Amino acid sequence: MTTISLEAQTRTEHGTGVSRRLRNQGLVPGVLYGGDQAAVSVALPHNQLIKAQEQEAFYSQVIQLSLDDKPIQVIVKALQRHPYKPKLLHIDLVRVTAGEAITATVPIHFLNEGQSVGEKAGGQVHHHLTELELRALPSKLPEFVDVDIANLAAGHTLHLSDLTLPEGTELVALGKGDEHNYSVVTIHPAKGGGDDDNSEETNQDSE
């Protein structure tokens, strides 16, 4: 399992001007909340965050945060980016409490893409989802979820309820009802329709 560590410092000043000054100093303003404790305003080194967020596990795994040299386990709830510059503007972090389930977004790894039954028949893969919202204990939260499409035929779709999840995890969407059983991946049949379309056109012409 990937381990990501970050350093942060508490900040007592707030406001747009303060945030701008922090960014000019190479820091990213943020908020740490959750865990039945008061929210705390924090600042993290921009360069450290840039490097950390390049890892896929950044959004799905528990992060070891050193806040004023005190260790805290957190997960990333939101990360605001500049609309066109390679800069991070703000981060929201949530405390992790041992023994309490957390919700996190986990990427999907599609297995056997390019080798599936449907693709070999000329079909094309369409991804409806690339990540999943899971709920689990921190120790059970996976870095990613594998979705094997080797046996997926053309014209068929895998839905959330078709997925095999790691033990101890559950899909947040399915807890909201059957109408949230979203499509994950579909293999669309080859375009053109084949001989049936041609024969139909021939029959119409003969009439």
Q: Can you give the pLDDT at residue 201?
A: 41
pLDDT of 1 over the 70 cut: no
Residue 148 lies in a domain: yes
Residue 47 lies in a domain: yes
Question: Using CA atoms, how far apart are residues 116 and 124, in angstroms rounded to an integer?
Answer: 10
Type of residue found at 207:
E
* 53 and 93 together in one domain: yes
Q: Can you give the pLDDT at residue 197?
A: 42
* 76 and 135 together in one domain: no
Number of domains in the chain: 2
* Closest to 48 (Cα-Cα) out of 60, 34, 33, 30: 30
Task: Indicate the pLDDT class of residue 203, thresholds 50, 70 and 90.
Answer: very low
Type of residue found at 167:
E
* Closest to 39 (Cα-Cα) out of 10, 65, 6: 10
Residue 164 lies in a domain: yes
Domain of 80 in residue numbering reads as 4-97
Strands 37-45 and 27-34: antiparallel
H or E segment and range at residue 47: helix 46-52
Task: Indicate the pLDDT class of residue 42, thresholds 50, 70 and 90.
Answer: very high
* 15 and 67 together in one domain: yes
Q: Can you give the pLDDT at residue 32?
A: 96
Q: Which residues pair with 66 in a beta bridge?
A: 7, 71
* 84 and 118 together in one domain: no
* 93 and 112 together in one domain: no
Residue 166 lies in a domain: yes
Q: What is the CATH number of the domain that holds 55?
A: 2.40.240.10
Q: Between the CA of residue 130 and those of 70, 144, 174, what are the distances in Å? A: 35, 10, 16
Last residue of a domain, one of 97, 119, 137: 97
List, for residues 173-194, the tens digit of each pLDDT value: 999 999 999 999 999 998 865 4
Residue 196 lies in a domain: no
* 49 and 129 together in one domain: no
**Lookup: tokens for 119:** 């693709």
Average pLDDT score over residue span 143-159: 97
Residue 139 lies in a domain: yes
